A and B are shown apart, each in its own frame.
Chain A
């Protein structure tokens, strides 16, 4: 009986080492044709900003939805809203924040909230060549190492033309700096809410929520500044403040808003006859 050739073991180990060294260091798999879903987090943020800027120009929701889908986010609306808040907190330009928030709103509602006259085109198509057999994109997609010229199949996604519902009158784009007006001032008696809650909603002329708008609250001996947009789970143009009993407040939107004075937390009565501190809900609009 022949003895086992033990000398092959070190040769095998050396061979594996050489193979791994070549595969990982000398000639690793090159991902030169990656997809947007593999981008790093900061580049994905830039990608979303760009999608939002493009959407603000074209108002093409179907195309924006496809593009957002390329990033492979589980909940694109939530991701966009969260990004808008981060941008707001980082002091990025208000226009960019508003574009991202607007895209989140429109993706959520499925409705393009723009005047029909502003729609640049009615028929669009996005063509993406891909060697994969389906037009699906996800985080688990394996980037293709093959160059684009070697793609054997071309998948073409043609977006159904979006036709906005005509409106009887053209709604002008809000003018930056136009004074905000108080649209409504409602007493809120809801025992489930925090006592003395002042809710502020800020919308533009097209009823879009407006994040990043400064609200100035003053009272005898005090002043508070806060911004809309930090509670995207409620609305992007929402902010709130807890009022004290027997204190009279004045609210003003920082961008040339007319002050609304004599605001106090109302007294409410619950179903058992107990009184509690109610709240108010103010809605401001920029015409």
Chain B
């Protein structure tokens, strides 16, 4: 076997050991994650909590503020995604209804227009 082949094999073994250490033995740790990185079912439950609170207080601004931690998508899209997830994993009819209520309210939401400068 040519000597250069030893080096190539050693390089391959080294890469393998490096990957083993970096991916399995000591992978990058994510301990301070955000709600946006949560698994879809946890995100759906997060949105469901917002919908439950909204059902009582009807405070859409607060609901939008709470949804903002789930990513940069429009609030209505986040709620619609949660509704889809809830339907796919078998949420109860009541929970689906709450998510629909929130989604519809968000889709119909029209932010107050900013005042135009110079208009009396």
For the complex, what is the distance from the CA of A255 to the CA of B114, rounded to whole Å? 37
Interface check A83, CB cutoff 8 A: no
Across the interface, which residues of B come within 8 angstroms of A24, CB to CB? 22, 28
Task: Contact check, A57 vs B56: say whether CB atoms are below 8 A apart.
Answer: yes
B20 → chain A closest CB, angstroms:
8
Q: State how many residues of chain B have any CB contact under 8 Å with chain A.
A: 51
Across the interface, which residues of B come within 8 angstroms of A19, CB to CB? 14-22
- Out of B39, B56, B95, which one reaches A124, CB within 8 Å? B95
Across the interface, which residues of A come within 8 angstroms of B13, CB to CB? 12, 15
Binds A, one of B43-51, B72-80, B105-113: B43-51
Interface check B92, CB cutoff 8 A: yes
Q: Which residue of A lies closest to B38 (CB)?
A: A34
> What 1/0 mask marks residues of chain A from 115 to 148 whose CB sits below 8 Å from any chain B CB?
0000011011111111000000000000110001
Across the interface, which residues of A come within 8 angstroms of B64, CB to CB? none
Q: Which residue of B lies closest to A95 (CB)?
A: B57
> What 1/0 mask marks residues of chain A from 23 to 66 whose CB sits below 8 Å from any chain B CB?
11000110111111011110100110011011011100000000
A257 → chain B closest CB, angstroms:
27
Interface check B104, CB cutoff 8 A: no
Query: Given A15-B12, A43-B35, do A124 and B27 touch, yes or no (CB 8 Å)?
Result: no
Task: Contact check, B10 vs A8: say whether CB atoms are below 8 A apart.
Answer: yes
Interface check A11, CB cutoff 8 A: yes
For the complex, what is the distance from the CA of A53 to the CA of B95, rounded to whole Å? 16
Task: Contact check, A54 vs B40: say whether CB atoms are below 8 A apart.
Answer: no
* Chain B contact surface mostly: helix
Interface check A154, CB cutoff 8 A: yes
B66 → chain A closest CB, angstroms:
6
Q: Which residue of B lies closest to A64 (CB)?
A: B49
Complex interface residues of chain B between 63 and 89 (CB less than 8 A to chain A):
66, 69, 89
Query: Given A14-B11, A57-B56, do A5 and B3 touch, yes or no (CB 8 Å)?
Result: yes
Interface check B101, CB cutoff 8 A: no
Task: Contact check, B7 vs A7: say whether CB atoms are below 8 A apart.
Answer: yes
Q: Which residue of B lies closest to A49 (CB)?
A: B66
Interface check A176, CB cutoff 8 A: no
* Chain A contact surface mostly: helix
> What 1/0 mask marks residues of chain A from 152 to 165 whose CB sits below 8 Å from any chain B CB?
00101000000000
Q: State how many residues of chain A have any CB contact under 8 Å with chain B.
A: 57
- Out of B10, B17, B89, which one reaches A129, CB within 8 Å? B89
Q: Which residue of B lies closest to A24 (CB)?
A: B22
Residues of B bordering A, CB below 8 Å: 3, 6-23, 27-28, 30-35, 37-42, 45-46, 48-50, 52-53, 55-57, 66, 69, 89-92, 94-95
User: Would you give 30 A-B contacts (Cβ < 8 Å), ordered by A?
Assistant: A7-B7, A11-B11, A12-B14, A14-B11, A15-B13, A15-B18, A19-B14, A19-B22, A23-B23, A23-B27, A28-B27, A31-B33, A33-B39, A33-B40, A34-B30, A36-B38, A43-B69, A53-B49, A54-B50, A54-B52, A56-B56, A120-B94, A121-B94, A123-B92, A125-B95, A126-B45, A128-B42, A130-B41, A144-B39, A148-B41
Residues of A bordering B, CB below 8 Å: 5, 7-9, 11-24, 28-29, 31-36, 38-41, 43, 46-47, 50-51, 53-54, 56-58, 67, 70, 120-121, 123-130, 143-144, 148, 154, 156
Apart from A22-B15, A22-B19, A40-B32: 20 A-B pairs, beta carbons within 8 A: A5-B7, A11-B7, A12-B13, A19-B22, A23-B19, A24-B22, A29-B28, A33-B38, A34-B38, A43-B34, A46-B35, A53-B49, A54-B52, A54-B53, A56-B53, A123-B94, A127-B89, A128-B89, A129-B89, A148-B40
